[in-house]
């Protein structure tokens, strides 16, 4: 799984995160497949917004199912004073498995740190994050899996054809002498 966002969208997220400092900023990423096409800031209604985030439920409900033909492709929030690593609280409240959670860490204000994660029922794993204006290179692993399937399929077809051809080339059975 990967997440791709352009420099402009990354700028929108860091702008939102910096403008909310020292509170955590949060929002939704809409797009298609692995590509983010729109960043939607959501109000952080957490009781302690300096250390947590909770997305305003009404605002979230309006966009969670997608908007203008764009689908939900991920979530984002900021860590105003720490690394972009999911906190125990983030893990506990991650209700969308198989969905990237992008975090921007503002420990060093001059150099925001980015990381994306999958949080599948408390299982956390890193998601490859691509920030750039051109599409990321093809996923080599996926490509090799596809290639492997193609090779196996053609080998199987060749084998079946060989059996059919050799059966059709068999001479007729000799007459049984009486």
Cβ(24)–Cβ(78) under 8 Å? yes
Q: With CB under 5 A as the contact rule, which of the stretches 5-13, 86-94, 107-115, 137-145 interacts with Zn ion?
A: 86-94
* Structure token digits, residue 1: 């799984």
Give whichever of 34 and 90 is closer to Zn ion, judged by the CB atom. Answer: 90
Give the integer Cα–Cα distance in Å for 55 and 106.
19
| Beta carbon of residue 100, minimum distance to Zn ion (angstroms, whole number) | 14
- 128 catalytic? Reply is no
Size of the site for Zn ion (CB under 5 A): 2
* Per-position DSSP letters for 107-146, written without gaps between them: SSTTS-EEEEEEEETTEEEEEEEEESSSPPPP-HHHHHHH
Give whichever of 31 and 86 is closer to Zn ion, judged by the CB atom. Answer: 86
* Structure token digits, residue 8: 């402009």
- Would you count residue 113 as binding Zn ion (CB under 5 A)? no
| Beta carbon of residue 61, minimum distance to Zn ion (angstroms, whole number) | 21
Residues that bind Zn ion (CB under 5 A): 87, 90
* Residues designated catalytic: 24
């Amino acid at each position: 799984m990967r997440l791709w966002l352009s420099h402009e969208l990354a700028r929108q997220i860091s702008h939102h995160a910096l403008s909310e400092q020292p509170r955590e900023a949060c929002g939704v990423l809409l797009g298609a497949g692995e590509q983010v096409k729109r960043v939607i800031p959501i109000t952080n209604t957490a009781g302690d917004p300096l250390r947590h985030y909770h997305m305003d439920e009404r605002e979230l409900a309006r966009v969670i199912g997608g908007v203008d033909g764009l689908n939900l492709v991920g979530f984002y929030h900021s860590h105003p004073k720490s690394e972009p690593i999911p906190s125990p609280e983030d893990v506990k409240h991650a209700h969308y498995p198989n969905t990237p959670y992008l975090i921007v860490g503002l420990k060093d204000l001059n150099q925001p740190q980015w990381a994306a994660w999958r949080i599948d029922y408390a299982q956390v794993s890193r998601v490859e994050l691509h920030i750039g204006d051109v599409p990321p290179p093809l996923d080599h692993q996926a490509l090799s899996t596809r290639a492997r399937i193609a090779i196996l399929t053609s080998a199987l077809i060749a084998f079946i054809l060989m059996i059919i051809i050799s059966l059709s080339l068999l001479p007729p059975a000799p007459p049984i002498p009486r």
